C-alpha cells in the first residue's frame, strides 16, 4: 500500500490532483475534495468571478502543478509559467479590457490568487503583489498617461515589484531612508530596498522614498521606475525557507534619475498610498493563505483515504476524523473572513479591520493545517518527495509579509481603542 500511495503522490510529472484522478477505486463524487470543487458557502460569485476562479484552477492543475517541485528546488520562477500567467490573463485581472486586461474586480483577483496558492503559494505571491498592490497603485494614483502606459504592459508582459522595506525599516516602514532629491525637472533617487518580491523578474518598480526626512511621513513619495533606469540594480537574492520560486532580492538605487512625471500620485502622498495599498493587499495574502491551507488539506486527505493501517484507511479512524473535521472548519472560517473583507472593500465600505482579521486568521490557519498535514501523512510527510513539507514551509511567510501578525493585532487593537476612549 505504501508503494501505491507513494506512486500516487509522487511529485514530478504528476500533480496530487492528477494522481488522485488516476485512482481507479474512488468515484469522483466520493472524493474528499471539499475545498477544491465544493460549493462556496461564504459568498455568491458572479459568472465572471466563477469564470476567473475556474480558469485559475485549471491553470494551476494543468500548467503549474507539473513545475512546482522543480521551481521550489531551483528557487527559480519558470519563464514558461510567467509567460503562461500573462497569456491566461492572470497578471491583469483588474486591468481594463481596452488595456489588455480581464477587467474584473478585487474579489475576482482574490479568487485567482486562492486557486493558484492551492497548487503553488510562490506563484500566488507574485500574482498577488502584481495584481492587488501594483495594478491598483497605477489604476488609482497614476496620471492617465502613466496609468495607460504601465497597465498595458503589466497586463501583457511586465512583472512589477513593490519597494517599501529597507534594512532599517520593516514593521516601521515609514522610517525609510531612501532619498529623492529634486534636480530641475527630475528627481535623483539613492537608497537600498530589501526583501523585494519578484525583483529578479520585474520590469517596473514602485519605489517609496523621502523627499525630506525632516518631514516624517509627509515627505514620503512613490516613484515609478523602469528596470533599465541607470543606477537601478538587483542585489543579493535571499535563499528562503518557503515560497522559493518567488524571487526576493535587494534593489539598489544609485543616483537613479527619473522625471517629475514618474511621481505616482503627488509628492508627499506616498505614505497614504502605501497604507491604502497594504490594507487591501492583506486581503490578497489572506486569499493566498486560504488557498495554501486548502491545497495542503486536499493533498493530505487524498493520501489518508488511500493509506491503510490496521486494515482500514487512516482517514476512517475517529481520532483522525475529528482532526480533519476541525481543520475543515478553520479553513472555512478563514475563507469567510477573506471573502467578507474582499466584498467590503469592493463595495466601498470600511474594511481595514476585516482585512487584518482575514490575513491574521488565514495565515494562522495555513500554518496549523499545513503542520497537521505532515502529521497526517506520517513519515512520508517529512520527506521532500511529498508536497506536505512544501506547504508547511510556504505557510510561514503569511505571518510576516505585508505586516507581521503583531502589526495586524496592533492595527485592530488601535481601532478598538478608538471606540473605547479614555473616560
Ligand atoms: C519573503 C518576503 C517577501 C517580502 N516582499 C516584500 C516586498 O515585495 N516589498 C516590500 O516592501 N517588503 C517585502 N517584504 C518585507 C516584509 O514586509 C517585512 O519583512 C515585514 O514587514 C517585517 O519587517 P522586518 O522583517 O523588518 O521585521 P521587524 O519589523 O524587525 O520585526 C521583528 C519582530 O518584531 C515584531 N514587532 C515589530 N514592531 C512591533 C510592534 N510595534 N509591536 C509588536 N511587535 C513588533 C514583529 O512582529 C516581528 O515579530 C518581504 C519579506 C519577506 C520575508
Q: Is 22 a domain residue?
A: no
Determine the structural domain holding residue 124 and report its residue range.
Answer: 47-159
Ligand 1 atom nearest 173 alpha carbon? 21
Contact 164 CB / ligand 1 (< 6 Å): yes
- How far apart are the C-alpha atoms of 126 and 85, rounded to whole Å? 10
Let me know whether 302 and 168 are in one domain. Answer: no
CATH, residue 347:
1.20.140.10
- Note whether residue 194 is domain-resident: yes
Cβ of 162 closer than 6 Å to ligand 1, yes or no, is yes
Handedness of CA 174, 178, 179, 185 (dihedral sign): negative
Q: Which residue ranges of the chain lie beneath pLDDT 70?
A: 1-42
Query: Is 208 touching ligand 1 by the criterion CB < 6 Å?
Result: no
Q: What does the pLDDT look like over 128-138, one tens digit per residue? A: 999 999 999 99
> Of 94, 98, 97, 95, nearest to 111 (Cα)?
94
Testing ligand 1's pocket by substitution, the residue of 75, 165, 198 carrying the most ligand atoms inside 8 A of its CB is 165
Atom 29, ligand 1: which residue's CA is nearest?
Answer: 171
Active site residue 280: no
- State how far the alpha carbon of 232 is from the alpha carbons of 76, 180, 185, 356, in Å: 21, 14, 19, 33
Do residue 258 and residue 290 come from a single domain? no
Q: Which residues pair with 204 in a beta bridge?
A: 160, 226
288 located within any domain: yes
Closest CA to 242 of 73, 90, 119: 73
- 16 Cα to the center of ligand 1, angstroms: 33
Closest residue by Cα to residue 23 from 311, 294, 296, 304:
304
User: How many angstroms separate the CA atoms of 51 and 57, rounded?
Assistant: 10
Ligand 1: distance of its center to the CA of 326 in Å? 30
Task: Check which CATH number belongs to the domain holding 103 and give it.
Answer: 1.10.540.10
Report which protein residue has its CA nearest ligand 1's atom 4. Answer: 195
294/264 same-domain check: no
Residue whose C-alpha is closest to residue 82's, from 92, 93, 73, 91: 91
Same domain, 246 and 356: no
Question: Which of 234, 268, 302 finishes a domain?
Answer: 268
- pLDDT at site 25: 31
Q: Does residue 40 form part of some domain? A: no
Q: Are residues 165 and 155 in the same domain?
A: no
Is the dihedral angle over the CA atoms 189, 190, 195, 197 positive or is it negative? positive
Closest CA to 226 of 161, 278, 137: 161
Domain stops at, among 123, 139, 159: 159
pLDDT of residue 8: 33
**Claim to verify: residue 283 and residue 414 sit in the same structural domain:** yes
Choose the catalytic residue: 201, 250, 402, 423. 402
Position 5 in a domain: no
Sign, CA dihedral 118-123-127-129, equals positive
Is residue 385 in some structural domain?
A: yes
Cα(353) to ligand 1 centroid in Å equals: 19
Q: Both 250 and 335 in a single domain?
A: no
Ligand 1 contact, 11 CB (< 6 A):
no
pLDDT, position 42? 62
Query: 118 and 172 share a domain?
Result: no
- The answer, yes or no, to whether any atom of ligand 1 lies below 6 A from the CB of 171, is yes
Burial group, residue 63, by CB count within 10 angstroms (0-12, 13-18, 19+) = middle
Q: Which atom of ligand 1 is nearest to the CA of 403?
A: 21
Cα–ligand 1 centroid distance for 225 (angstroms): 23
φ/ψ of 243, rounded to 5, equals 30, 55
Q: Whose CA is nearest to atom 37 of ligand 1?
A: 171
Select from 162, 164, 156 the least CA-distant residue to 130. Answer: 162
C-alpha 290/C-alpha 397 separation (Å) is 13
Q: How far is it, in rounded angstroms, from Cα 346 to Cα 278?
A: 15
Domain count, the chain: 3
Residue 299 placed within a domain: yes
CA of 166 from ligand 1 middle (Å) equals 10
Specify whether 145 is located in the same domain as 174: no
Residue 217 sits in the same domain as residue 334: no
What's the pTM? Answer: 0.92
CA 361 to ligand 1 centroid distance, Å:
18
Residue 284's contacts (CB-CB under 8 Å, 6 or more residues apart) are 109, 110, 113, 128, 129, 131, 132, 133
Residue positions counted in the chain: 423
411 and 297 share one domain: yes
Q: Tell which atom from ligand 1 comes closest to the C-alpha of 240.
A: 1
**How crowded is the C-beta side of 12, counted as CA atoms within 13 Å?**
6
Same domain (yes/no): 248, 280: no
Amino acid at each position: 500500500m505504501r508503494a501505491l500511495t507513494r506512486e500516487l503522490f509522487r511529485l514530478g510529472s504528476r500533480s496530487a490532483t492528477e494522481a488522485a484522478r488516476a485512482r481507479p477505486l474512488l468515484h469522483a463524487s466520493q472524493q474528499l475534495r471539499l475545498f477544491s470543487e465544493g460549493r462556496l458557502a461564504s459568498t455568491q460569485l458572479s459568472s465572471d468571478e466563477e469564470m476567473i476562479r475556474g480558469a485559475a484552477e485549471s491553470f494551476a492543475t494543468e500548467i503549474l502543478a507539473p513545475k512546482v517541485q522543480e521551481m521550489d528546488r531551483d528557487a527559480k520562477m519558470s519563464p514558461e509559467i510567467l509567460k503562461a500567467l500573462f497569456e491566461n490573463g492572470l497578471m491583469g485581472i483588474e486591468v481594463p479590457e481596452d488595456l489588455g486586461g480581464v477587467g474584473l474586480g478585487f474579489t475576482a483577483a482574490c479568487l485567482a490568487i486562492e486557486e493558484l496558492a492551492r497548487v503553488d503559494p510562490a506563484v500566488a505571491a507574485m500574482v498577488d503583489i502584481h495584481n492587488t498592490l501594483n495594478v491598483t497603485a497605477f489604476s488609482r494614483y497614476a496620471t492617465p498617461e502613466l496609468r495607460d502606459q504601465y497597465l498595458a504592459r503589466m497586463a501583457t508582459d511586465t512583472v512589477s515589484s513593490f519597494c517599501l522595506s529597507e534594512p532599517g525599516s520593516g514593521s516601521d516602514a515609514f522610517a525609510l531612508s531612501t532619498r529623492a532629491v529634486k534636480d530641475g525637472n527630475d528627481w535623483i533617487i539613492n537608497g537600498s530596498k530589501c526583501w523585494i518580491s519578484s525583483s529578479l523578474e520585474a520590469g517596473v518598480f514602485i519605489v517609496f522614498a523621502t523627499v525630506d526626512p525632516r518631514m516624517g511621513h509627509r515627505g514620503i513619495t512613490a516613484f515609478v521606475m523602469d528596470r533599465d533606469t541607470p543606477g537601478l540594480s538587483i542585489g543579493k537574492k535571499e535563499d528562503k525557507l518557503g515560497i522559493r520560486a518567488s524571487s526576493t532580492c535587494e534593489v539598489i538605487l544609485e543616483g537613479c534619475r527619473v522625471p517629475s512625471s514618474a511621481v505616482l500620485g503627488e509628492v508627499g502622498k506616498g505614505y497614504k498610498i502605501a497604507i491604502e495599498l497594504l490594507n487591501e493587499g492583506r486581503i490578497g495574502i489572506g486569499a493566498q493563505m486560504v488557498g495554501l491551507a486548502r491545497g495542503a488539506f486536499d493533498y493530505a486527505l487524498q493520501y489518508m483515504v488511500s493509506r491503510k493501517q490496521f486494515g482500514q484507511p487512516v482517514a476512517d479512524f475517529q481520532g483522525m476524523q475529528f482532526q480533519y473535521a476541525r481543520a475543515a472548519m478553520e479553513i472555512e472560517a478563514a475563507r469567510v473572513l477573506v471573502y467578507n473583507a474582499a466584498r467590503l472593500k469592493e463595495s466601498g465600505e470600511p474594511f481595514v479591520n476585516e482585512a487584518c482579521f482575514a490575513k491574521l486568521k488565514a495565515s494562522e490557519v495555513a500554518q496549523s493545517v499545513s503542520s497537521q498535514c505532515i502529521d497526517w501523512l506520517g513519515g512520508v510527510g517529512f520527506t521532500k518527495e511529498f508536497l506536505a513539507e512544501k506547504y508547511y514551509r510556504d505557510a510561514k511567510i503569511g505571518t510576516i509579509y505585508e505586516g507581521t501578525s503583531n502589526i495586524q493585532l496592533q492595527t485592530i487593537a488601535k481601532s478598538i481603542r478608538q471606540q473605547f476612549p479614555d473616560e
